[in-house]
Structure 1
Amino acid sequence: MRFSSLRAGQSALLAASGALTVFAFAPVRAFALMWLGLAVLFILTGRATTAKRAAWQGYVWGLGYFCANIYWIFISLHTFGGMPAWMAAGCVFLLAMYLALFPALGAWLGHRAGTTRFWRTAIALPSAFILSEWLRGWLFTGFPWASVGTSQLPMTPLAGFAPVLGVYGVGLVLAISVGLLAALPRKPAVWAGVLGAWLAGWGLWHVQWTHPVGAPVSVSLAQGAIPQDEKWAQEHYLDNLRIYLHLTRQAKGDIVILPETAIPSFLTDTPDWYLDYLRAAVEPRALVTGVPLTGKHKDEYYNSVMLLTDDKTPIYSKHHLVPFGEFVPVPALFGWMYHYLNMPLDGFTPGAAKQAPFVIGQTTRLAPNICYEDVYGREIINALPQATLLVNVSNLAWFDGSWAAWQQTQMSQARALETGRWMLRATNTGMTAIIDEKGQLIKVLPERQRGVLEGMAQNRAGETPYARWGDWMALALGGFLWLLAGFFGRKHQARTSQTIV
Structure 2
Amino acid sequence: MRFSSLRAGQCALLAASGAVTVFAYAPVRAFVLMWLGLAVLIALTGKAETGKRAAWQGYAWGLGYFCANIYWIFISLHTFGGMPAWMAAGCVFLLAMYLALFPALGAWLGHTLGRTPWLRTAITLPATFILSEWLRGWLFTGFPWATVGTSQIPMTPLSGFAPIVGVYGIGLILALSAGVLVTFARKPAAWASVLAVWLAGWGLSYVAWTQPVGQPVSVSLAQGAIPQDEKWAQAHYLDNLRIYLHLTRQAKGDIVILPETAIPSFLSDTPDWYLEYLRAAVEPRALVTGVPLTGPHKDEYYNSVMLLTDANLPIYSKHHLVPFGEFVPVPALFGWMYHYLNMPLDGFTPGASKQAPFSIGKTTKLAPNICYEDVYGREIINALPQATMLVNVSNLAWFDGSWAAWQQTQMSQARALETGRWMLRATNTGMTAIINEKGQLMKVLPERQRAVLEGTAQNYSGETPYARWGDWAALASGGLLLLLAWLFGRKYQTGTSKAIV
The alpha carbon displacement at 1:497 in A equals 2.7
Give the match for residue 124 of structure 1. 124
The alpha carbon displacement at 1:232 in A equals 0.2
Secondary structure of the residue that 1:214 maps to in structure 2?
strand
Give the match for residue 455 of structure 1. 455
Paired residues, what number? Answer: 501
Give the match for residue 330 of structure 1. 330
The alpha carbon displacement at 1:144 in A equals 0.2
Give the match for residue 4 of structure 2. 4
Tell me the alpha carbon deviations over residues 62-102 of structure 1, each in whole angstroms, 9 at most, x when there is no partner.
00000000000000000000000000000000000000000
C-alpha distance in 2 between matches for 1:87 and 1:43: 36
Question: Map of 1:74-223 to 2, 5 A cutoff?
Answer: 74-223=74-223
C-alpha distance in 1 between matches for 2:287 and 2:361: 12
The alpha carbon displacement at 1:500 in A equals 2.7
Give the match for residue 498 of structure 1. 498
Give the match for residue 482 of structure 1. 482
Give the match for residue 386 of structure 2. 386
**Does 2:392 align with 1:411?**
no
The alpha carbon displacement at 1:492 in A equals 1.7
Q: Which amino acid counterpart does residue 17 of structure 1 have in structure 2?
A: S
Tell me the alpha carbon deviations over residues 334-377 of structure 1, each in whole angstroms, 9 at most, x when there is no partner.
00000000000000000000000000000000000000000000
C-alpha distance in 2 between matches for 1:300 and 1:290: 17
Tell me the alpha carbon deviations over residues 313-345 of structure 1, each in whole angstroms, 9 at most, x when there is no partner.
000000000000000000000000000000000
Q: Which amino acid counterpart does residue 219 of structure 1 have in structure 2?
A: V
Give the match for residue 467 of structure 1. 467
C-alpha distance in 2 between matches for 1:109 and 1:486: 12
C-alpha distance in 2 between matches for 1:480 and 1:109: 15
C-alpha distance in 1 between matches for 2:484 and 2:10: 29
The alpha carbon displacement at 1:187 in A equals 0.8
C-alpha distance in 1 between matches for 2:8 and 2:490: 32
C-alpha distance in 2 between matches for 1:16 and 1:182: 19
C-alpha distance in 2 between matches for 1:87 and 1:493: 52
Secondary structure of the residue that 2:485 maps to in structure 1?
helix
C-alpha distance in 1 between matches for 2:168 and 2:299: 37
Give the match for residue 260 of structure 2. 260
Give the match for residue 31 of structure 2. 31
**Does 2:360 align with 1:365?**
no
C-alpha distance in 1 between matches for 2:480 and 2:146: 24
Question: Map of 1:252-401 to 2, 5 A cutoff?
Answer: 252-401=252-401
Give the match for residue 40 of structure 2. 40
C-alpha distance in 1 between matches for 2:319 and 2:239: 30
Secondary structure of the residue that 1:166 maps to in structure 2?
helix
Tell me the alpha carbon deviations over residues 417-466 of structure 1, each in whole angstroms, 9 at most, x when there is no partner.
00000000000000000000000000000000000000000000000000
Q: Could you tell me which runs of 5 or more consecutive residues in structure 1 were left unpaired when the two chains were aligned.
A: none
C-alpha distance in 2 between matches for 1:318 and 1:412: 16
C-alpha distance in 2 between matches for 1:488 and 1:430: 50
Secondary structure of the residue that 2:385 maps to in structure 1?
coil
Give the match for residue 428 of structure 1. 428
Q: Which amino acid counterpart does residue 390 of structure 1 have in structure 2?
A: L
Length-normalised TM-score, structure 2? 1.00
C-alpha distance in 1 between matches for 2:131 and 2:204: 23
Tell me the alpha carbon deviations over residues 164-211 of structure 1, each in whole angstroms, 9 at most, x when there is no partner.
000000000001000000011011111111111111111111100000
The alpha carbon displacement at 1:498 in A equals 2.5
C-alpha distance in 2 between matches for 1:446 and 1:239: 22
C-alpha distance in 2 between matches for 1:247 and 1:60: 48
Secondary structure of the residue that 1:356 maps to in structure 2?
coil
C-alpha contact 1:113 1:483 (8 A) present in aligned 2: no
C-alpha contact 1:39 1:178 (8 A) present in aligned 2: yes
C-alpha distance in 2 between matches for 1:375 and 1:15: 25
The alpha carbon displacement at 1:278 in A equals 0.2
Length-normalised TM-score, structure 1? 1.00
The alpha carbon displacement at 1:483 in A equals 1.6
C-alpha distance in 2 between matches for 1:86 and 1:491: 54
Query: Which moves more between the two structures, 198-207 or 319-328?
Result: 198-207
C-alpha distance in 2 between matches for 1:82 and 1:152: 35
C-alpha distance in 2 between matches for 1:343 and 1:381: 31
Tell me the alpha carbon deviations over residues 367-399 of structure 1, each in whole angstroms, 9 at most, x when there is no partner.
000000000000000000000000000000000
C-alpha distance in 2 between matches for 1:95 and 1:333: 15
C-alpha distance in 2 between matches for 1:395 and 1:281: 23
Q: Which amino acid counterpart does residue 171 of structure 1 have in structure 2?
A: G
Secondary structure of the residue that 1:146 maps to in structure 2?
coil
Q: Which amino acid counterpart does residue 281 of structure 1 have in structure 2?
A: A
Secondary structure of the residue that 1:216 maps to in structure 2?
strand
C-alpha distance in 2 between matches for 1:453 and 1:493: 62
C-alpha distance in 2 between matches for 1:80 and 1:500: 67
Tell me the alpha carbon deviations over residues 399-427 of structure 1, each in whole angstroms, 9 at most, x when there is no partner.
00100000000000000000000000000
Give the match for residue 65 of structure 2. 65
C-alpha contact 1:181 1:190 (8 A) present in aligned 2: yes
**Runs of 4+ more than 6 Å apart:** none
Give the match for residue 442 of structure 2. 442
C-alpha distance in 2 between matches for 1:113 and 1:261: 48
Identity %: 86
C-alpha distance in 2 between matches for 1:2 and 1:500: 36
Q: Which amino acid counterpart does residue 431 of structure 2 have in structure 1?
A: M
The alpha carbon displacement at 1:485 in A equals 1.4
Give the match for residue 229 of structure 1. 229
The alpha carbon displacement at 1:468 in A equals 0.5
The alpha carbon displacement at 1:491 in A equals 1.9
C-alpha distance in 2 between matches for 1:176 and 1:280: 56
Secondary structure of the residue that 2:349 maps to in structure 1?
coil
Q: Which amino acid counterpart does residue 44 of structure 1 have in structure 2?
A: L
Give the match for residue 53 of structure 2. 53
Q: Which amino acid counterpart does residue 2 of structure 1 have in structure 2?
A: R
C-alpha distance in 2 between matches for 1:484 and 1:363: 47
The alpha carbon displacement at 1:496 in A equals 2.2
Give the match for residue 242 of structure 2. 242
Tell me the alpha carbon deviations over residues 275-333 of structure 1, each in whole angstroms, 9 at most, x when there is no partner.
00000000000000000000011100000000000000000000000000000000000
The alpha carbon displacement at 1:494 in A equals 2.5
